[in-house]
C-alpha cells in the first residue's frame, strides 16, 4: 500500500481542479430504508437501475461518461473492507492504491480505480465502508464506485463529491463526509480564540483547512452549472454539502457563543420564545461585525471555521454560520440565496415582528423571519431593493 500521507495528498490536490462546464441531467437523492444509508450525488447523476435493495447504479450519460455504482453486502460476505476492496480490484482488473481509515467508528477504505470499460480507460475512486448492523448481526458493507473516462480529468471532483455525499447512517447526517474525514483525519482539539467575543472553543487544528478543501471542491462542481437549467438545484446542493461538512466541526463554537449570550440574560424573566429571539438577535449582531470579504477570482465563500475564528466573510458565509449556531441551540434555521441580488440572508422560525419569507404550501407552510448579516440592522429587517420573494431561493437544512 502507498503511504497514507501520499494518498491523502492526491485527494487534496484533486479538489482544486476547475470542473468542465457541461449541461447535466437532474440528480436524485437515494435513501435506503433497508440499510439506512443515503447519498446525494451532484446534479446530473440519474438513477439507471439495480434491484432496489442491494444494487444501485447512477449515470451521467448521455451528457458525460461518468458513473456511480453502489453494492451492499450482508455481514459475513466479506471478512473486512480490505477483502471487499481486493475482490473489486480482481473483478474489474483495476489498478490503484487502497488505504484503510476510520470514519466515525466505522471501518472504511478508499481505493483508486483504474480499469478498462467498453474499450476506454476509466479512472476514479471507490469507497468501502461499514453500515449499521441489523438485529445485532455483523455490520453489512457498502461498496461505492465513482468513475468515468480517464481522459476527462475534470470529472474527478464529481467522483469525490458523490462519495463524500454518502451518509452511512442517520447519526452521520450532520457530520463531515467520508472523503473529508479520510483526507483530514480528526486530531486532538485545541483551544482556539473566537472572533470578536471573549471566548474560546476547542477546534481540530486542521478544521479550517478541511472545510476550505470541501468548499473548493464543491465550488468546482457548482461551476459546471453556471449556465445550466439545473443551476438552482446545484446551488442548493452546494450549500447543503457545506452545511453538513461544517456543522459538527462548529459544535464547540456554538456552545461557547451560547454561554456568552446566556450570561447576558441570566436572571431575566423570559419565556422560551423570547430567549430564542434574543439569542438569535445577539448571534446576528456578532456576525454583522465581521469584515466583509469576497474573492471573485476564487470560491467566493470563506469557510465557516475561518469565518468564526477570524471574523470575516461574505453574506452567504455569515448567513450559514448564523444558521448553524442557531440550529445547535435548537432553533430551526435556514438560509436564502439570490442570484439576481448577488446576496444571501439567514432564516429562522422565531416569534415576533419582522419581514417573513414563506416556504411550503398548505399544511407544510412555514414563515421564516429573515436576517440580514452584512449590515448592522435589526433581525427581521430587509431592504426594499432586495425584497422580491420571487428572486430568492430557500436552502433548508
176 with 29, same domain: the answer is yes
Give percent of the chain with pLDDT exceeding 70. 92
180 with 254, same domain: the answer is no
> Residues 6 or more apart from 235 whose CB is under 8 A from it?
222, 225, 337, 339, 393, 395
43 with 161, same domain: the answer is yes
Q: What is the phi/psi pair of residue 188, to 5°?
A: -70, 130
Distance of CA 393 to the CA centre of its chain: 18
Whether the pLDDT of residue 7 is over 70: the answer is: no
Whether the pLDDT of residue 3 is over 80: the answer is: no
Entry pTM = 0.93
Is 210 within a domain?
no
- Rounded mean pLDDT of 188-213? 97
Task: Please indicate whether residue 17 or residue 217 has the higher confidence score (pLDDT).
Answer: 217
- Residue 336, classed as helix, strand or coil, is strand
Is 263 within a domain?
yes
pLDDT, residue 22, reads: 30
Cα-Cα end-to-end distance for the chain: 39
Give per-residue pLDDT as tens, 165-197. 999 999 999 999 999 999 999 999 999 999 999
Integer Cα distance of 215 and 312 in angstroms: 16
145, 56 Cβ separation under 8 angstroms:
no
pLDDT band at 11 (very low <50, low <70, confident <90, very high): low
Final residue in a domain of this structure, among 157, 185, 213: 185
Give per-residue pLDDT as tens, 335-361. 999 999 999 999 999 999 999 999 998
176 with 256, same domain: the answer is no
Alpha-carbon dihedral sign for residues 338, 343, 347, 351: negative
Q: Report which secondary-structure segment, H or E, holds 277.
A: helix 272-288
Q: At what angle do helices 156-164 and 4-14 cross, to 10 degrees?
A: 110
Please report, for residues 19, 76, 256, 320, 324, the alpha-carbon distance to residue 390 in angstroms, rounded to integers and kept in the order given: 30, 53, 37, 21, 25
179 with 278, same domain: the answer is no
Give per-residue pLDDT as tens, 18-27. 333 333 333 4
94, 114 Cβ separation under 8 angstroms:
yes
Q: At what angle do helices 207-222 and 231-247 cross, to 10 degrees?
A: 170
Residue with cell 447519526: 171
Q: What is the CATH number for 123?
A: 3.40.1000.10
Is 301 within a domain?
yes
> Residues 6 or more apart from 97 whose CB is under 8 A from it?
1, 2, 7, 111, 112
Whether the pLDDT of residue 200 is over 80: the answer is: yes
Final residue in a domain of this structure, among 185, 215, 231: 185
pLDDT, residue 24, reads: 31
291-292 and 312-313: which strand pairing?
A: parallel
Please report, for residues 265, 277, 308, 387, the alpha-carbon distance to residue 346 in angstroms, rounded to integers and kept in the order given: 23, 14, 16, 14
pLDDT band at 1 (very low <50, low <70, confident <90, very high): very low
Integer Cα distance of 352 and 379 in angstroms: 10
Closest CA to 374 of 397, 351, 342: 342
136 with 60, same domain: the answer is yes
Whether the pLDDT of residue 145 is over 90: the answer is: yes
Number of folded domains that form the chain = 2
The residues pairing with 145 across neighbouring beta strands, listed in sequence order, are 69, 126
**Mean pLDDT over the full length of the chain:** 92
Closest CA to 163 of 241, 95, 98: 241
22 with 168, same domain: the answer is yes
- Rounded mean pLDDT of 50-74? 91
Whether the pLDDT of residue 321 is over 80: the answer is: yes
Integer Cα distance of 373 and 288 in angstroms: 5
The residues pairing with 345 across neighbouring beta strands, listed in sequence order, are 336
pLDDT, residue 26, reads: 39
173 with 257, same domain: the answer is no
pLDDT band at 14 (very low <50, low <70, confident <90, very high): low
Whether the pLDDT of residue 239 is over 50: the answer is: yes
Is 134 within a domain?
yes
Neighbouring C-alpha atoms within 13 Å toward the C-beta of 284: 24
Give percent of the chain with pLDDT exceeding 90. 82
397, 243 Cβ separation under 8 angstroms:
yes
Is 47 within a domain?
yes
Is 236 within a domain?
no
pLDDT, residue 10, reads: 61
- Which domain does 57 fall in, by range? 4-185
pLDDT band at 4 (very low <50, low <70, confident <90, very high): low
179 with 262, same domain: the answer is no
256 with 175, same domain: the answer is no
283 with 149, same domain: the answer is no
Is 232 within a domain?
no
366-371 and 343-348: which strand pairing?
A: antiparallel
Q: What is the CATH number for 282?
A: 3.10.620
pLDDT, residue 5, reads: 55
262 with 172, same domain: the answer is no
Whether the pLDDT of residue 44 is over 90: the answer is: no
pLDDT band at 69 (very low <50, low <70, confident <90, very high): very high
- Rounded mean pLDDT of 211-224? 96
Final residue in a domain of this structure, among 152, 185, 218: 185
Q: Report which secondary-structure segment, H or E, holds 210.
A: helix 207-222
**Residue 6 burial (CB < 10 Å; 0-12/13-18/19+)?**
exposed
- Rounded mean pLDDT of 384-397? 96
Is 213 within a domain?
no
Amino acid at each position: 500500500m502507498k503511504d497514507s500521507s501520499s494518498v491523502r495528498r492526491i485527494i487534496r490536490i484533486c479538489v482544486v481542479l476547475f470542473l468542465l462546464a457541461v449541461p447535466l441531467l437532474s440528480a436524485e437523492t437515494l435513501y435506503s430504508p433497508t440499510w439506512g444509508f443515503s447519498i446525494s450525488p451532484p446534479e446530473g447523476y440519474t438513477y439507471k437501475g439495480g434491484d432496489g435493495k442491494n444494487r444501485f447504479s447512477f449515470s451521467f450519460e448521455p451528457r458525460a461518461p461518468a458513473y456511480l455504482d453502489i453494492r451492499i453486502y450482508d455481514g459475513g460476505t466479506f471478512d473486512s473492507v480490505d477483502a471487499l476492496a481486493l475482490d473489486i480490484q480482481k473483478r474489474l482488473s483495476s489498478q490503484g492504491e487502497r488505504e484503510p481509515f476510520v470514519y466515525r467508528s466505522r471501518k472504511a477504505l478508499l481505493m483508486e480505480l483504474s480499469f478498462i470499460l467498453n474499450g476506454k480507460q476509466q479512472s476514479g475512486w471507490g469507497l468501502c465502508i461499514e453500515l449499521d448492523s441489523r438485529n445485532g448481526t455483523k455490520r453489512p458493507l457498502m461498496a461505492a464506485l465513482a468513475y468515468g473516462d480517464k481522459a476527462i480529468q475534470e470529472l474527478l471532483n464529481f467522483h469525490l463529491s458523490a462519495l463524500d455525499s454518502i451518509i452511512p447512517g442517520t447519526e452521520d447526517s450532520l457530520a463531515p463526509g467520508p472523503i473529508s474525514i479520510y483526507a483530514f483525519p480528526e486530531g486532538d482539539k485545541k483551544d482556539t480564540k473566537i472572533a470578536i467575543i471573549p471566548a474560546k472553543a476547542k477546534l481540530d487544528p486542521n478544521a479550517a483547512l478541511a472545510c476550505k478543501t470541501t468548499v473548493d471542491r464543491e465550488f468546482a462542481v457548482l461551476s459546471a452549472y453556471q449556465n445550466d437549467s439545473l443551476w438552482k438545484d446545484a446551488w442548493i446542493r452546494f450549500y447543503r454539502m457545506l452545511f453538513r461538512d461544517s456543522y459538527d466541526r462548529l459544535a464547540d463554537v456554538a456552545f461557547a457563543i451560547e454561554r456568552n449570550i446566556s450570561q447576558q440574560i441570566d436572571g431575566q424573566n423570559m419565556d422560551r420564545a423570547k430567549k430564542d429571539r434574543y439569542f438569535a438577535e445577539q448571534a446576528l449582531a456578532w456576525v454583522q461585525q465581521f469584515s466583509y470579504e469576497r474573492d471573485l477570482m476564487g470560491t467566493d465563500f470563506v469557510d465557516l471555521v475561518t469565518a468564526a475564528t477570524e471574523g470575516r466573510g461574505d453574506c452567504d458565509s455569515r448567513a450559514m454560520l448564523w444558521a448553524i449556531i442557531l440550529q445547535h441551540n435548537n432553533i430551526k434555521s435556514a438560509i436564502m440565496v439570490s442570484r439576481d441580488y448577488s446576496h444571501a440572508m439567514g432564516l429562522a422560525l422565531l416569534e415576533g415582528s419582522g419581514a417573513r419569507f414563506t416556504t411550503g404550501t398548505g399544511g407544510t407552510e412555514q414563515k421564516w423571519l429573515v436576517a440580514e448579516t452584512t449590515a448592522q440592522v435589526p433581525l427581521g429587517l430587509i431592504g426594499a431593493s432586495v425584497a422580491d420573494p420571487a428572486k430568492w431561493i430557500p436552502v433548508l437544512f
